[in-house]
Amino acid sequence: MSNDQTARSGRASAKTIATVIALPLALLAGFGFFQAMRPPAEPAPQPSVAAGPQVMPTTPVTMAAPALNERQATVCRALLSQLPDQVRDLPRRDVSAGHEQNAAYGDPALTVACGGPAPSFAPTDDVYTLDGVCWHKGDGAWTTVDREVPVRVTVPAAYDTPGQWVINFSKTLLATVPHAERIPVGCGTRA
């Protein structure tokens, strides 16, 4: 090989080496440029607390248990035996007293209390017929006003649209708690 050929061969090698080094660097720079120009990615949505299983307190929900007469006790036992184990995504919980007349769901606890005195309210107060049962809303609780034995459902403020929670109990009430002899004006006809 002559000196001329060796020089040309050396120059070709230098060009090849420069290309081999420059090409990946150019590609890397181009990739970096396009990454910088791309709009920022939306952050991955964080799972909500309600999306996964919820840890329920193991302590019973504190509830009063007013004395019931024999008829009220029978009606309340019938109602409690038919209540669901879960209302929407709220599992049923133990109660501190009146297992035959009280039920609770979720945390904060939505409560159902059967029996006790009939609600008293002004005749001008609104009553709501929800799925065939007439309810009076007052003091953070909804109480039936057209049933032989009153049933009170307390919906914590943490739950939106309380009437939509209360309506979950209407069908069970219709099936287990007889209609009262007298019903307030505004409750419609007997169901």
pLDDT digits (tens, 9 = 90+) for 112-169: 999 988 888 888 899 999 999 999 998 789 999 999 999 999 999 999 999 999 999 9
User: What is the per-residue pLDDT across 56-81, written as a single tens digit (0 to 9) for each?
Assistant: 788 999 999 999 999 999 999 999 99
93 pLDDT band, cuts 50/70/90, is very high
Which CB contacts under 8 angstroms, 24+ apart, belong to 181-186? 181/148, 183/134, 183/145, 183/146, 184/123, 184/127, 184/134, 184/136, 184/145, 184/146, 185/123, 186/126, 186/127, 186/134
pLDDT for residue 46? 44
Q: What is the pLDDT of residues 22-60, one digit of tens each?
A: 555 565 555 555 555 555 554 444 443 444 566 778 899
% of the chain exceeding 90 in pLDDT: 57
